[in-house]
């Protein structure tokens, strides 16, 4: 199951970067890369977690955190992911 999740992360990262185009990467204000928010949402939907459960699970998955640029010892607050989707236009 771990390999399938890493495959999902890699595929979702590639697709998110393509969809974001020149808006991919870290925002000027800092924080997580835009595509990391989208991939986190994909993981949450795939596994059926709440935002709080997603953050707890991410802290237990260092390989996924590494690919997303998240520090597993200090994951973002669940509201960071929740509010980020209001800012992105989904195509």
Domain that holds residue 77: 1-19+33-87
Residue 24 lies in a domain: no
Number of domains in the chain: 1
Residue 84: per-residue pLDDT: 80
Average pLDDT over residues 63-71: 92
Q: How confident is the model at residue 89 (pLDDT cuts 50, 70, 90)?
A: low
- For the chain, what is the mean pLDDT? 86
Q: Tell me: pLDDT of 72 over 90.
A: no
State the Cα–Cα distance between residues 88 and 91, nearest whole angstrom. 9
Q: Phi and psi of 74, rounded to 5°?
A: -140, 70
Handedness of CA 14, 18, 20, 21 (dihedral sign): positive
In a domain, 28, yes or no: no
pLDDT in tens, 20-59: 888 888 877 778 888 999 999 999 988 899 989 999 999 8
């Amino acid at each position: 199951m771990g390999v399938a999740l890493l495959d999902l992360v890699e595929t979702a990262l590639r697709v998110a970067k393509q969809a974001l185009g020149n808006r991919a990467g870290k925002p000027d204000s800092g924080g997580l890369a835009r595509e990391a928010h989208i991939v986190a949402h994909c993981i949450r939907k795939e596994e059926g977690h709440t935002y709080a459960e997603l953050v707890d699970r991410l802290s237990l998955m260092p390989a996924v955190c590494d690919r997303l640029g998240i520090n597993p010892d200090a994951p973002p607050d669940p509201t960071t992911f929740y509010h980020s989707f209001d800012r992105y236009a989904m195509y």
